[in-house]
Structure 1
């Protein structure tokens, strides 16, 4: 029996889920009340498909396996998994998730792509099977980046998270079960810290957006893509590893080198950031930049797998 993903909301993230599921041979039924949603989604999938072909398509993978439903209830009928991707407004998400919970059979998991809300808050208005409503937070582009953060709420049972882990693995994701719920989950909290510091550097005239990006692309980002934060610093300690690194550089953590609170988003700062990004884009449309990013990520994912294959076995420790 074919697996079927129901996608609710077809913005960038929802469309990313659609492209990934289609590439893995799943059927996809989408719902979005916006009149031009089907055309936008099909254009998105067409733009992503070359990268997915290079990464490797599953048997039966085809954009033709996408259909649009006329209602929420129609979208979830017969679904193996439901993925909600409506705008990041808590009351809206609660409303949509409660409707999905009422419409879908109790055994079907409902993942929310929320980047910040806690699952217990999302489950609040669900009365049929609230525990199956979990956070399933991916990263853009969803069709290439494999990480998905899974977070259960107060009503969620361990068996439901186990089932979610299995389903998302079938979509060729790398599920990371977050040990306890917290606003922003795990990866976004790390990215937000860097983002705040980057805004301060631009706001204070220390660097342009291009210079900040260069510091990441040609410096820490290259190492992070293979080893992450902790193992990178473990190597910084030489043969003695992390213990020596902490002894040597740990005291610097007390120095006021970083500013974790975000700066005020003044008109001047907004203009600096926007003008910097437009200069970097050099007139290229986002669709062209998407394809350039996708080509890079396909090759990079291959390199990570080549040099860090043992990471496949680390999921059992999470």
Structure 2
């Protein structure tokens, strides 16, 4: 395996929402992309996916017809990966299926191929348990929508080679992503665990009839969402402590924060709770026109990312630290 092999050809295994988002992003960055799927509607699904996501790429919309010129659909896994420099897998979260799939990929792909899984719940060691050389495999988990949100959690296994981790970081950075390498395996992923913790309390507050789902969302987007788009939780508290930083903040309110944790809810998602949440969500957000609503979400995220990029560029021009 060579760390200097350039990535020119990518194979995306799976043509669901995540796979199609990766496909569009790879195409937009000049890669020849092969999509491996056995969907009966493969050509239509891939075309519609690229058309949808091409309009909301982070660096601006792209002509889907131009992107599709560099795309191939291949239902045979072995043929699909035969010339791949990188494989990004996005199939169902079923361990035995992924193990069988990657064993076939290993036999069929070039030795230098970077093997990446988008898995959100399975680790690299388990997925690669049947591989002859699991050193080239790791989890590269995106955050939805995968073509737009910068984060990719890079999660190596115990047998993943350091060179593989470095190559994965370089590859994702070349796509404009922000890779974060996890130092140890964890159930779920960092971002999903944080999301789950917030969602748990959000569900509790709605079930307790303190707020409705749309009011809860307004509370988040009007406060924490805005804050976290610019600084994370720790930096926010570090700044909240003034010149004394996080040390001063925790000394002042640490015990109070710890006490508040005792009052966080532990809601149960039983049938009645699900029905209440879904009924409110459907009333607040509607049930039709997923493409329109997704495009509106992406447009807002693009506006935020664009403003942050412009600000960073101005700071560089001004020589700001």
* TM-score (ref. length: structure 1): 0.90
Contact 2:54–2:62 under 8 Å retained in 1: no
1:82-93 alignment to 2 at 5 Å?
82-93=87-98
Work out whether 1:167 is the aligned partner of 2:171: yes
Q: In 1, distance between residues paired with 2:18 and 2:38?
A: 16
Residue segments in structure 2 that go unaligned for 5+ positions in a row = 1-5, 317-321
Q: Deviations over 1:261-288 (max 9, x none)?
A: 8532211111122112212223441100
Work out whether 1:14 is the aligned partner of 2:6: no
Residue segments in structure 1 that go unaligned for 5+ positions in a row = 313-318
Work out whether 1:145 is the aligned partner of 2:153: no
Q: In 2, distance between residues paired with 1:7 and 1:259?
A: 45
Contact 2:153–2:181 under 8 Å retained in 1: yes
Which of 162, 171, 191 is the matching residue for 2:195? 191
Work out whether 1:121 is the aligned partner of 2:88: no
Give the C-alpha shift of residue 307 in structure 1: 3.7
Of stretches 268-277 and 7-16 in structure 1, the one that deviates more from structure 2 is 268-277
Q: In 2, distance between residues paired with 1:262 and 1:126?
A: 40
The aligned length equals: 310
Which of 15, 22, 32 is the matching residue for 1:27? 32
* TM-score (ref. length: structure 2): 0.89
Give the C-alpha shift of residue 38 in structure 1: 2.5
Work out whether 1:204 is the aligned partner of 2:221: no
Give the C-alpha shift of residue 54 in structure 1: 5.7
**CA, structure 1 residues 270+165, in 2 after alignment: closer, same or farther (shift >3 Å)?**
same
- Per the alignment, residue 315 of structure 1 pairs with none
Q: Deviations over 1:152-175 (max 9, x none)?
A: 111111111111111222222221
Give the C-alpha shift of residue 225 in structure 1: 0.6
Q: Deviations over 1:202-257 (max 9, x none)?
A: 22222221122111111111010111111111121122221111111110233244
Contact 1:168–1:174 under 8 Å retained in 2: yes
Give the C-alpha shift of residue 57 in structure 1: 5.7
The CA RMSD over aligned residues, in Å, is: 2.4
Give the C-alpha shift of residue 75 in structure 1: 1.1
1:128-277 alignment to 2 at 5 Å?
129-257=133-261, 263-277=267-281
Contact 1:14–1:85 under 8 Å retained in 2: yes
1:285-300 alignment to 2 at 5 Å?
285-300=289-304
**CA, structure 1 residues 311+133, in 2 after alignment: closer, same or farther (shift >3 Å)?**
farther
Of stretches 71-80 and 46-55 in structure 1, the one that deviates more from structure 2 is 46-55
